[in-house]
Amino acid sequence: MGIALSVFKLINPNKELLLNKVVNKEISSKSQKTLEKWTALKEIDVPASKLKGISYNEKDDRVKYQARHYSETIKYPVKVFIDNIDEDITTKRPDIELYTSKEFNKGYQQVFIFDVIIDFKTSEIFVFTKKNVANSFINRFKKYGRIDYDFFQFNLDNIDMIVELENVFGAWEDVSKGRLKTKGYFGTQVHKEIEVDKNRIKSYNIEYQIDKELIIDLFISRDCKISSHSSQLTNKKLLEIYNHLKEKLILK
Rounded to two decimals, the pTM is: 0.82
Instruction: Determine the pLDDT at residue 235.
Output: 96
In angstroms, how far is CA 96 from the centroid of its own chain?
36
Share above pLDDT 90 across residues of the chain, in percent, rounded to a whole number: 52
Confidence grade of residue 35 (pLDDT, cut at 50, 70, 90):
very low
Residue 124's φ and ψ, nearest 5 degrees, are -100, 140
Q: Are 79 and 68 in contact (CB under 8 A)?
A: no
Domain extents in the chain: 3-151, 156-249
Q: Is the pLDDT of residue 194 over 70?
A: yes
pLDDT tens, residue by residue, 118-175 = 999 999 999 999 999 999 999 999 988 889 999 999 999 999 999 999 999 999 998 8
Instruction: Determine the pLDDT at residue 98.
Output: 45
Amino acid sitting at position 195: E
More confident residue, 199 or 106: 199
Q: Is the pLDDT of residue 40 over 50?
A: no
Confidence grade of residue 37 (pLDDT, cut at 50, 70, 90):
very low
What is the overall mean pLDDT for the chain? 82
Residue 57's φ and ψ, nearest 5 degrees, are -100, 105
